[in-house]
């Protein structure tokens, strides 16, 4: 059985350090991902080590409380395709923001000492994750202001290295979909203010026999009622914000089968479909992809153009 304890795994870090010494500079670029998961409280006794596990611990301090959550930290290469969990801690309920910030900085420091270059962190929009990022941003802002320096953008500093905190794109898509159910989206197109509503989606023909575009079969399988939507399932969000649904909606609006205002919703769906594709590419070695944005981001790819246009949508 592998000897894996809470906190940063020193043995893994030693192996990472050996690998980093053989890497090209660009292959050392990586991101740190962190997330939590729920556990069933349980206590076990290790006879060989005469140790009881199952309590709250960050690897240094152990509290006499049953752990029901685990916080996991992982590294992922940006240019070279590698990923490796490097640390975990156990807590009762979710790890609070300040403690999580402390753990994150410790993990990043160990990774830097191993020879890798951390350029960003990725997490979801859980309350404690958001508080962790806010805590680090405010900490850096205070340090810079005391030096009479103005903070530039949303960056955190760990050992004088700039790191960009990012939120997980699938989780952002879910939040956009959940907000759209109760709120409208307004944007400008050709100097005119357009409004996209959830009603534009629910108006799509779904019953057999109703007139629809040939791609409408996919819509029949989408849960569109607010009470029936699985809020945590990413696939239902990405199926909704897809080129198929946007094409179907625009076609039906042109034919007068649904409201002409639905064209604005089709534009929004297509926008988010392209934006999600641009941050959901792969390391695949294929030269051609079904969508150009699903390929890797390179100096000559369409990703930069897409991101620039997205800022003014």
* Interatomic CA distance for residues 91 and 158, integer angstroms: 24
Q: Where are the domains of the chain?
A: 7-41+51-167, 172-310
Place of tokens 């998961």: 37
pLDDT digits (tens, 9 = 90+) for 40-69: 988 888 888 888 888 888 888 888 889 999
What is the mean predicted confidence (pLDDT) over 243-263?
A: 83
* Interatomic CA distance for residues 28 and 20, integer angstroms: 7
pLDDT at 114 over 90: yes
What is the mean predicted confidence (pLDDT) over 103-116?
A: 95
What is the mean predicted confidence (pLDDT) over 108-128?
A: 94
Determine the pLDDT at residue 76: 94
The candidate with the shortest Cα–Cα distance to 104, out of 81, 137, 80, is 137
Kindly report the pTM of this predicted structure.
0.83
pLDDT digits (tens, 9 = 90+) for 13-34: 999 999 999 999 999 999 999 9
pLDDT digits (tens, 9 = 90+) for 145-189: 888 887 777 889 899 899 999 999 988 888 888 888 888 888 877
Determine the pLDDT at residue 237: 83
Q: Which of 34-43, 91-100, 214-223 shows the lowest mean pLDDT across its residues?
A: 214-223
Determine the pLDDT at residue 212: 46
Cα–Cα distance list, 64 to 40, 43, 44, 88, 162 (Å): 16, 11, 14, 18, 37
Q: What is the rounded average pLDDT for all residues in the chain?
A: 84
pLDDT at 211 over 70: no
Q: pLDDT band at residue 120, thresholds of 50, 70 and 90? A: very high
Determine the pLDDT at residue 142: 87
Determine the pLDDT at residue 3: 58
* Interatomic CA distance for residues 49 and 149, integer angstroms: 51
Cα–Cα distance list, 136 to 35, 91, 113, 152, 220 (Å): 17, 21, 20, 14, 45
Q: pLDDT band at residue 227, thresholds of 50, 70 and 90? A: low
């Amino acid at each position: 059985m592998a000897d894996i304890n809470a906190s940063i795994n020193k043995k893994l870090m030693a192996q990472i350090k050996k690998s980093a010494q053989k890497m090209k500079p660009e292959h050392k670029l990586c991101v740190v991902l962190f997330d939590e998961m729920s556990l069933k409280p349980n206590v076990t006794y290790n006879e060989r080590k005469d140790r009881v596990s199952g309590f709250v611990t960050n690897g240094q301090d152990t509290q006499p409380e049953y752990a029901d959550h685990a916080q996991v930290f992982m590294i992922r290469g940006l240019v070279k395709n590698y990923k490796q969990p490097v640390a975990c801690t156990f807590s009762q309920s979710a790890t609070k923001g300040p403690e999580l910030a402390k753990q994150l900085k410790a993990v990043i420091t160990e990774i830097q000492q191993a020879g890798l270059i951390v350029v960003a962190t990725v997490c979801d929009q859980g309350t404690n994750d958001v508080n962790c990022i806010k805590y680090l941003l405010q900490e850096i802002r205070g340090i810079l202001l005391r030096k009479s320096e103005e903070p530039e953008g949303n960056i955190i500093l760990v050992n004088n290295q700039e790191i960009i905190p990012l939120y997980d794109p699938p989780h952002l898509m879910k939040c956009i979909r959940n907000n759209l159910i109760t709120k409208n989206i307004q944007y400008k197109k050709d100097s005119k203010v357009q409004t996209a509503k959830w009603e534009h989606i629910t108006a799509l023909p779904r019953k057999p026999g109703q007139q629809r575009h040939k791609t409408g079969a996919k819509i029949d399988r989408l849960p569109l009622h607010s009470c029936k939507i699985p809020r945590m399932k990413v696939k239902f969000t990405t199926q909704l914000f897809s080129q198929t649904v946007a094409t179907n909606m625009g076609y039906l609006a042109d034919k007068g089968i649904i409201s002409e205002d639905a064209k604005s919703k089709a534009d929004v769906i297509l926008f988010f479909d392209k934006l999600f594709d641009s941050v959901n590419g792969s390391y695949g070695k294929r030269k051609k992809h079904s969508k150009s944005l699903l390929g890797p981001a390179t100096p000559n790819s369409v990703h930069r153009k897409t991101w620039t246009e997205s800022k003014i949508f």
